[in-house]
Each structure stands twice: as C-alpha cells, then as structure tokens.
Amino acid sequence: MRLLARHFHATSSLSVHKMAPYSLLVTRLQKALGVRQYHVASVLCQRAKVAMSHFEPNEYIRYDLLEKNINIVRKRLNRPLTLSEKIVYGHLDDPTNQEIERGKTYLRLRPDRVAMQDATAQMAMLQFISSGLPKVAVPSTIHCDHLIEAQLGGEKDLRRAKDINQEVYNFLATAGAKYGVGFWRPGSGIIHQIILENYAYPGVLLIGTDSHTPNGGGLGGICIGVGGADAVDVMAGIPWELKCPKVIGVKLTGSLSGWTSPKDVILKVAGILTVKGGTGAIVEYHGPGVDSISCTGEEGSLVTWPSACAGPRGPVVERRSSMATICNMGAEIGATTSVFPYNHRMKKYLDKTGRADIAHLADEFKDHLVPDPGCHYDQLIEINLSELKPHINGPFTPDLAHPVAEVGTVAEKEGWPLDIRVGLIGSCTNSSYEDMGRSAAVAKQALAHGLKCKSQFTITPGSEQIRATIERDGYAQILRDVGGIVLANACGPCIGQWDRKDIKKGEKNTIVTSYNRNFTGRNDANPETHAFVTSPEIVTALAIAGTLKFNPETDFLTGKDGKKFKLEAPDADELPRAEFDPGQDTYQHPPKDSSGQRVDVSPTSQRLQLLEPFDKWDGKDLEDLQILIKVKGKCTTDHISAAGPWLKFRGHLDNISNNLLIGAINIENGKANSVRNAVTQEFGPVPDTARYYKKHGIRWVVVGDENYGEGSSREHAALEPRHLGGRAIITKSFARIHETNLKKQGLLPLTFADPADYNKIHPVDKLTIQGLKDFAPGKPLKCVIKHPNGTQETILLNHTFNETQIEWFRAGSALNRMKELQHQ
C-alpha cells in the first residue's frame, strides 16, 4: 500500500499537466500493480488531508473548519439551519461576532477558490496586477471558452480562435504563470463543465467571474457569480462581502417521466419567480423528488461500471448532470445561487471523476451537507415532478414559460415565426455526456426512418473530455448524420460568438436552443431573432420537425417511406460505460518559481490595456448631472455592454467602452443607441455622447427601469460608464451582481424610494445628488430634479451601501481602497 501511494504521488505530480482525470490514472495504476481490493481513498489519502483537486495536492478541504463554524453559528442563532446557511455561514471570517440577518446584513466570507473565464479574466488579472500583490492567496483558475467564434466547425474554429486571440491567450497564460493561477487552454471546454469535472465538491464556497457559476450547485456547493473586482479581493486574501442571502426552498415531490426533463424544473421555476424573483436569495432544492432528479427512474438506463473501476459497487442508475442544469439556470431568476443537498448520486459522480477521497470525506461530514430538519425558508415553492410537462421558454426573456404542447398555438396568436431556422444544443447548461446521449437517441430514431433535421442543427460539447468521449462512443457521428455540425468546446452561440450566415440582420426568425439565456439579440446580434430555450432532446426533436407546432409527446412524423411514426422519449447513460476519454492535454499548471516570468502588455495593443486608477470623490455633492439616457424597459448587461464581436476588447477598457449602452432603448425616441447631446442638441450614439461629455467635463447619470443589469456578471457594464465619466445609475431596482460591480468601480447605484418617481425625470432634466458628505448605511440621499423651465422638485433615493462600500466610493474604487490600506 505504501508503495502504491508513493508510486501514485510521483505519477500525479507529472499528471497535473494533463487533462486526464484522476480516476483514469488510478484505474491504470490498479491494473498495472494488480491492486483491486483496496479502496482508493483508504490507500491514497488520510482523513484530514484530502486535496480540493488533483491539480492542487497541497490545498486541502477544510470540513473540520466548516463544522466548527456551523456549530458556532447554530448555537448563536439557536435554530435549525438550511443547507445554504450551513455552507455560507461555515465560511464566515468571524463566525463568533458576525452580525447575521437574512436579506439585511453583509457577511464577510472566506471562499475556497476562484474561477475565471477568459473574457472576464482579462480585466480581473489586469486589476490584480494593479494591486501589486505577488501571488494569489487562494487556488484560482482561468478557462479559455468565451473567445472562440462558431463559424465552420470545431477544429477550424479553434485554430482560427488561437490565431486571432494569440495576444490575449498569451497574456492570460503568462499572467497565470506569474501569479500562481492555473490555466486551461482554448479547446479545454466550458468553464462550468471543467469545474464540475475537477473542482466542485459538496460544501465548497466558490466564486466565479461568470453569472452561471451556480452550475456547481449540482454537486452540493455554493458557487456564486461575481465581477472581476470581487475575484481580485478573494485572490488578494481579503474577506469577500455578500449581503446575507434569503433562502427560497423548492420542495420536489414525485418523479420525472417521458419527455419531461430536469431542464423543465428550472423552466417552471423561472415562470413562477420571473427574472427578478430570486434576487438576493439562494434557491435550495429539497424533498423526496430530489433523488428522482438525479436518475432516469425505473425506465432509466443502467450504467455498468467497468470491472476495473466497479469493485463491489455494480450497476447504478443516475442522472447527476441534471442537478447542475437546474442550478445553472438559477441565474435567470436573479438568484445569488442554487444548491442541492449531498446524496449518493453526487458520491457516485465524484467516484467516477476520480475524487472518491472527497466523496468519502463528504460521507463523514454529511450532516453538514444537508439541511437541518425543521429549517425555515423565506419562501417555499412546491413542484410535483409527476405532473410536470415539457416546457419551452421565450422569446426574448427566459421567464416566459410555455408547455411544449401549447407553444405553437401561442406563437400563431402572437405572430412569432413557426418555422425553426436553427436548433442548437450544448452550452454550459446542457452539454454533459448524458445530454449528448439523449439528443443522439432522438436523432437515431429519425435516421432509422430516413429523416434528417429540417432546421440547421449545431452541437456544442461541454469539455474536451466530453467531446473525445462522444466521438469515441458514436454520439457525435449520429448527430452529424442527422444534419448537425459539432462546434468547438466553447460557449459559442450561447454568448453571441456565432458568425451566422443564414439570415440578414433585421430578418424575423425563430431559433430553439438548450441554452440558458435568450435576451434580444444575444445569440446572433439580430433583434428580430425569436430565441426559445428548452431541453436538448426537445431541441433535437423540434429541429427534426422544423416547426414550433410539433409536440413530440403526441404528434407524428412521416418517414422517408411515407409511414407515420412517433418519437419515443429518449434515454441515455449519464456516464460512459467505458472510461472517459480525456482527449488532448489542455492544462497549464503554474510553476513553483515564477520569479523570471514576464507579463507583457504592449502600449499600442488594441486588445489589452493596463488600467489607470479612477479619480477619488472630491468630497462634494454631485451637482448638475446630465442624463446620458433614460432607459425604457429591460436593460440587461447585454444591453449595457454587448458581447459577440465586442468580446475581443474585454481586456481594453477604452476600446470596449465604444459599446456602452448601445442596446438600451432611449425613452425619448424609442430607439437604441440614439440619445440627445444636451450641448449640441443633436442625436447620436450613446458612447460618442458620453465621450463628448467627458471631454467637456460634464458628469452624467443613467436612469433605468426594473432589474437593471440582469444577466451576465460582466463588470465591463460597470467599468465602461465609470471610464466615460458616469457618476451614478438611478433605477427602480438592480440585479445583484451588477449593483455590486457598480459599487466596486466607485459609482453610485441608487434606487427610487418611490418607483413612481421614475416618471418625474425627463431626459432633458439635470440632477443633483445631495447628502454625500453624510453618506451612511441606510440613510437615503436626496435628488433635486432641475427641469428646463426652471422648476425643481426633490425626491429620495435609497441605497444598499455599507461602511466598507462607502469607503470604495470615497476612494474612487474598491481597488483604490485596497491600495490605500496596503500603504497604511
């Protein structure tokens, strides 16, 4: 046993540069050494020393500290705790003295790790470089998944991306090496799938610079999307602040069957809570139906473990990836995150992905990884899975829910195009091995009757491991045979990285995806594209039929031989029967000694730009602020800072600021990217007008509607207005991440004390914000509205600043404040 442990340690130190899962290495060692009876956990680790991941063998899981903190808090609060509370409060910086009140107090937390995708990592690493710190304080990783445009297909698109993004990839790779951050190269896969396969575990507190970081809740962790400045705080070893979240309980009963999938659970929840119903809350799934979410039920497929891996365990029935799907789309209801309790399904997934040691440690601490009996939820939703029907949500918003059986009729009534131009499966929400298998099962039935997709059809694997495995097992070829194109292991069309050629901009059309978000123009920059989201198997069926009027539960297709047939509900293995194929080597481990590592940013670069500190508050009230734009209706971060072709400028603040608010609708004229210049009285693009004001020393403000800044976590939506001279954003309400991002950059996110006051402000008015000299938590500010006719009226503005955040504002930004503290 000792020989095996030493042999494995030597091997694993070499394998950290490989993407090959730990499980494959263990299996090969067992075969080579003839060891079959010893459990991997008992041989390779000690109870108190279990690594968080096999890429960081010296960073350990601290369930003991989690337990200690939970006990302190439970004794203080004297009540049962939800699972969300256990994990969050278990990571408190000071559990003994921390004030805890759901929805009110700010918690100071110590997250376990940080994950960054390449589009947001650029600005995060630029800010970390500005901090002057030598190394990150917690395990951190960069994942290259956002900059690969879908155009011709996987290999060609990946080669093209590596070529045109070489400067950015080199910056991220060298910055990672310099500051101790792991680097997943382009082609490795989507950040959230990589996290599931390697880094997520029950009880982890992980923050990620992507709004769909909650995906990791499918493995029982609290995984929260944040802006880059929050990530910098954690990487710098500073306690991270989060408003104490409320907890929404979703009690699941019954079991799924037929065409109904776990995706339908979150589509149903989105329909109930809407895009802002989860704001400030963690959604916690529980109840007897949870186990059915993780498996395909009595009619599900048996996953037979290979003998080298199985030992005495034998076959299992499971569907782990589905819990991650549900948590992933919790971002679409504004939730802080979502989570499932630890169960035997998670244990088996951890086993299969080479983390049996983590699973066994979790078993020992299981009481802390599930909710206490009798715990209280701020809101409770009950869903009977046995009564749930397949859903499809859209267009233009992910909370407009329709049963699949009814969407065709609704589309006819509303004038939405029935003809489906493109069906797209994959993205971080539904790109697991099982997702691909279920779609292939639908496609195989069509092929058996001589049919192919009537719509265009694309497939995005979640990771290099998934891509390689579905290629080996034949799923990819089946999906190609039915008419599909397999894209690169990346985000692709889900985030607007799609060089779409089949329509012209402005052409009304319908697409159906298994993605998570369907805001106007998000996928292809065409505001007339009606995008619907549903499960991958429903997407596949609809792409074969080519119309929204098709209901696979009841409708028939006509085969090539003229005979009618009905598609059967698909079934597939959640895990491959053989080992996962790891595919290509895509991981770069940071070197132990990085003293000689250079990180170069050319002063003439159009892709990267070192940051200059923002100006400090001058100690005065903000007088005569010009209104840059009064926004009408929905204004997501896609409206504020568009993705797609703009992603290439995510590391260059001045260049990307040329997309500021170009998607927002101006209430004055009902147009996008057209605002009045108060000086020249001419209408022009929003960024040009903002630059004009900045050049002439005119400070400005944005006025917004409900849930301003919903959607992506991109902090560029906060950096850009600050860079171009903005001082405040005044709205009816904010999305959580965006509100925090604005505070981090020294802006004032303020809300109308009376939402009706939104109607008192006109685009031609000027605003003065008073009370900043006495700026204090919970104390409203005054806003004097100055109308062109000389009249004035005063309204109250609320805010959620605490003392620390007020210090950010006074210093000019959170990063400025960090530097001040370093010099004290």
Cβ atoms within 10 A of the Cβ of 162, count?
16
Three-state secondary structure readout of 518-554: CECCCCCCCCCEEEEECCHHHHHHHHHHCECCCCCCC
Annotation says 581 is catalytic: no
User: Whole-angstrom Cα distance, residue 359 to residue 342?
Assistant: 10
The DSSP H or E segment spanning 284 is strand 281-286
From CA 340, how far away is CA 327, in angstroms rounded? 8
The answer to whether 783 and 769 are in contact (CB under 8 A) is yes
Q: Is 517 a catalytic residue?
A: yes
Q: What's the CA dihedral at 475, 478, 479, 480 to 10 degrees?
A: 120
Burial letters for 379-390: b for 16+ Cβ neighbours within 10 Å, e otherwise? Answer: eebebebeebeb
Conformational region of residue 152, where left means phi above 0, alpha means psi within -120 to 50, and beta covers everything else = alpha
3 state DSSP class of 31: helix
Does residue 209 contact residue 120 with C-beta atoms inside 8 Å?
Answer: yes
Q: Spot the catalytic one: 712, 713, 733, 813.
A: 712
Q: Are 354 and 54 in contact (CB under 8 A)?
A: yes
Burial class (CB in 10 A: 0-12, 13-18, 19+), 489: buried
Element (H, E) at 113: strand 113-117
Active site residue 145: yes
257 C-beta neighbours (distance < 10 Å), count = 15
Give residue 215's identity as a one-letter amino acid code: N
Q: What is the number of alpha carbons within 13 Å of residue 512 lying toward its C-beta? A: 35
Supply 736's token pair: 């959580």
Task: State the greatest distance between any 2 C-alpha atoms of the chain, in Å, as a whole number.
Answer: 89
- What is the 3 state secondary structure string of 62-88? CHHHHHHHHHHHHHHHCCCCCHHHHHH
User: How far is it, in rounded angstroms, from Cα 362 to Cα 203?
Assistant: 8
- Ordered DSSP codes for 714-767: -THHHHHHHHTTEEEEEES-B-HHHHHHHHHTT-EEEEESSGGGGGG--TT-EE
Q: 387, 118, 362: which is closest to 221 by C-alpha?
A: 362
Residues in the chain: 824
Q: Establish whether 714 is a catalytic residue.
A: yes
DSSP H helical segments within 571-703, as ranges?
A: 637-640, 653-656, 686-695
Choosing from 112, 145, 399, 705, the catalytic residue is 145
Marked catalytic residue, from 62, 391, 438, 714: 714
* 134-150: b (≥16 Cβ within 10 Å) or e: eebebbbbbbbbbbbbb
Number of other residues whose CB lies within 10 A of the CB of residue 486: 22
Question: Would you state the structure tokens that stand for residue 729, as one six-digit string?
Answer: 């954003």
Q: What sign does the dihedral 158-164-165-171 (CA atoms) show?
A: positive
Q: How far apart are the first and last CA of the chain?
A: 53
Which residue among 62, 91, 146, 360 is the active-site one?
A: 146
Catalytic residue among 54, 62, 517, 727: 517
* Distance in angstroms (rounded) separating the CA atoms of residues 144 and 183: 8
Q: What 8-state DSSP symbol labels residue 219? A: G
Q: Helix axis angle, 736-744 relative to 814-823, nearest 10°?
A: 50
**How, if at all, do strands 665-666 and 222-225 pair?**
unpaired
Identify the bridge partners of residue 651 per DSSP, sorted by sequence position.
608
Question: What are the tokens at 799?
Answer: 């805010």
- How far, in Å, CA of 470 to CA of 436, rounded? 8
Distance CA 807, CA 815 (A): 11
> Which candidate in 112, 118, 157, 210 is catalytic?
210
Q: Which residues are catalytic?
A: 145-146, 210, 517, 712, 714
